[in-house]
A and B are shown apart, each in its own frame.
Chain A
């Protein structure tokens, strides 16, 4: 912050390869590292969903590679039910933590928050580097959780850490779903396959991830509050910054609870405590306390874990989606060539969602055995959170009304975000009602809801962000033709996958089943299951286009220039890619709000935030000058 005066004093860029690209403290490099981590993690997560679809639609088909990797989890190359369940668990965990929480916030937030507020770097660059490396360690541990369980020899090696770390049960990882409900997750190997070393590593990985996210959150909040450049009042910040800021606050308040819960769960598993394990359990033929394999447990509460988990878990949904909302607002305005409609309302809506997000966790637990009276409060609060979500949708439509849309790939994905957010969010009206949850809970209807709204919509936000900011990050444009094909296939594909999930759920199909063959009432759903699997194979394959486009364009894309989209915010005021200190030693001064498009009388259809000459009507009400 000593550099906020205009001058020539500049931080020198590091010259060694290791300080520049590996252990870098530059928020831009760290942002790209986060994005690369997410790009790697999402491949793992997608391959797992592909395997799940294969198991559901083509059971008993044999895959040599599976047998090679998991000789006991897939004997003869055919997936076992425990293999399927650990796919469910790891798909969810990897996607939620290492994709939806890393790229939107750690990735794009890290790269663009400091630039958009006109700062040279994050407030704590070293902490920033640490947050990435801690997160990466978490990712390595979660990958280990797969192979320590799945692979005999690796499992034996981990057994040296103690009996509870003994792996090699043959599954592809722990079994518990991404929610890891106790006591299944707390009992250890006695509870069956997938409850050994892999589950320990699952808990440890999540605890490590919590630490990484906390470090990141502190940095985001401090940077945004203290390091805005001259003229960058709060109400002149791009909506992306508001979203990243709120996300950081949510992370700061929710991850510690999961961290605490995770530590207690680990203690139950390795130290014989009983936070989540009640007395008198009889598991796999053994009574608690009657055998060395199953020590005495008493007095724990399985529901306590659910409260701790969902107190984190619900805000986590917003941690995943808010940055996508921010990016969408930003990109819609840019390519609609029109100011964001209701900027102030958008900021309040983000806050309202963030705040209410802490009071609705109980809707995950209507049928858990908690008090039926609290369900009523949680239900009404849950439907209230639909109001700010609807306000955001109205304002996006308001932004498009009377606009002049440029249909770039970034814009297509941002429009796709709006469509998918509506499609996924609106079914919250069903699931938020305790009465209807009686039938819908843990069904494919739930799976449909959260995949559309927190999974696919968030990912569309990130696709939009990638197409939009790629030229700034790498100095080259992504290929628009490939990008369009990628968009059409993905947009139609995700609807074909997740809309049928709803009707399967209405029919009564429970999630997390390795096979539905035994249930007569589900026979008529089979064609839908097949449709979904075919759509999933096509949609997942289409993502190769995206990967090709990213890596090809880094080297061969068209040169971008500083402001290829004719956008207004500060990141377009500097070179592509920006220099080490973002603005070459001269921090910009801000004179206008973030989305001054189509200003009457202005020479061009956009007024940059730094444009001192431009006359912007004062009656816009929201972006008054700060002097």
Chain B
């Protein structure tokens, strides 16, 4: 019985490790500046995890393989209550490894979250609502028009409550797709109209909740032109799984041309661009 269990534990261990390291089911190719560091930290961590997992499972398997009750009288287990030296040793070793991982793990977080967007960033407001994304662009004047919840009217497609009386609002555009420039810092100002949503583009390698009553700013740099799927990753109600849109990462000139278009043409151009760029294949 012990040997069967040992072999099964070892087979499960090997198959589990193989499933990870064939990397057939792995991150999609990253397209943000901070992503390589995150992927590297993930790799380091998963190697530590893999080694610890394998070592523990092999040790467990070895113990059940080797130490069986033979039923012979007088054949007894080793009588020991432990060893303080071993306790100290393995406590210190795991503490050092775990805390080191924790400290190393702060750098990506710090680089992404502990500073404001640099000057010259491209800014988009994101306003999520139950099962739809709205992205608000400042237009030619680079100023966001005033918004007010009291002005929201889904019926007339004023999803974010843009105040048409405000001069800065006249050239603003609102679409359900996100268009941002490549290789230039982007600041997203994330808001929600109703419940908590979450901004998730797997290729960008970050998630951020959009919390009603708060405006949360995140900044990042996308470094590959293309079209990417955008999902909501925080349960937001009935059609949560359909709260899908796209993020377009555009060459600077293409984005500049888009930015100055009035609302209708802006939307039409977005539709064209969504057709122009294929989804990534890996």
What is the interface of chain A, defined by CB distance below 8 A to chain B? Answer: 81-82, 85, 88, 175-177, 181, 183-184, 187, 191-195, 278-285, 287-288, 300-303, 336-345, 367-369, 372-373, 375-376, 379-380, 382-384, 386-387, 390-391, 393-395, 397-398, 400-407, 412, 415, 418-419, 422-423, 426-427, 429-430, 432-436, 438-439, 441-443, 484, 488, 491-492, 495, 499-500, 502-504, 506-508, 510, 512-516, 518-521, 524-525, 528, 597-600, 605, 617, 620-623
Contact = CB atoms under 8 A, between A and B. Distances in A.
Q: Taking each of B12, B63, B70, B112, which has the highest tally of chain A beta carbons within 10 Å of its own beta carbon? A: B63
Residue of B94, B206, B213, B239 most packed against chain A (CB within 10 A)? B213
Nearest to A186: B195
Given A281-B213, A495-B12, A622-B81, 18 more contacts: A187-B194, A282-B129, A287-B152, A302-B196, A337-B69, A343-B82, A345-B82, A368-B209, A384-B98, A403-B67, A415-B60, A438-B206, A491-B8, A506-B20, A506-B27, A508-B28, A525-B25, A597-B79
Contact of B81 (A193, A339, A394): A339
B229 A379 contact: no
A176 B77 contact: no
A583 B102 CA distance: 51
B25 A506 contact: yes
Contact of A337 (B2, B5, B76, B114): B76
Contacts of A387: 91, 94-95, 98
Nearest to A515: B241
A282 B193 contact: yes
B57 A419 contact: yes
Nearest 6 interchain pairs by C-beta: A278-B213, A433-B105, A402-B78, A508-B202, A342-B82, A435-B108
B249 interface: no
7 contacts: A288-B149, A368-B211, A423-B16, A435-B108, A435-B109, A438-B109, A438-B206
B240 interface: yes
B149 A367 contact: no
A492 B86 CA distance: 32
Interface in B62-113: 63-64, 67-70, 75-83, 86-87, 90-91, 94-95, 98-99, 101-103, 105-110, 112-113
B78 A403 contact: yes
B1 interface: yes
Interface of B: 1-2, 5, 8-9, 12, 15-16, 19-20, 24-28, 38, 41-42, 45-46, 48-49, 52-53, 56-57, 59-60, 63-64, 67-70, 75-83, 86-87, 90-91, 94-95, 98-99, 101-103, 105-110, 112-114, 129-130, 149-150, 152, 154-155, 161, 193-196, 198, 200, 202, 205-209, 211-214, 216, 229, 231-242, 244, 279-280
Given A193-B238, A383-B98, A510-B233, A300 B41 contact: no
Nearest to A442: B233
B45 A436 contact: yes
A433 to B, nearest CB: 3
Nearest to B195: A184
B244 A518 contact: yes
Given A415-B5, A491-B8, A175 B238 contact: yes
B52 A426 contact: yes
A303 B216 CA distance: 13
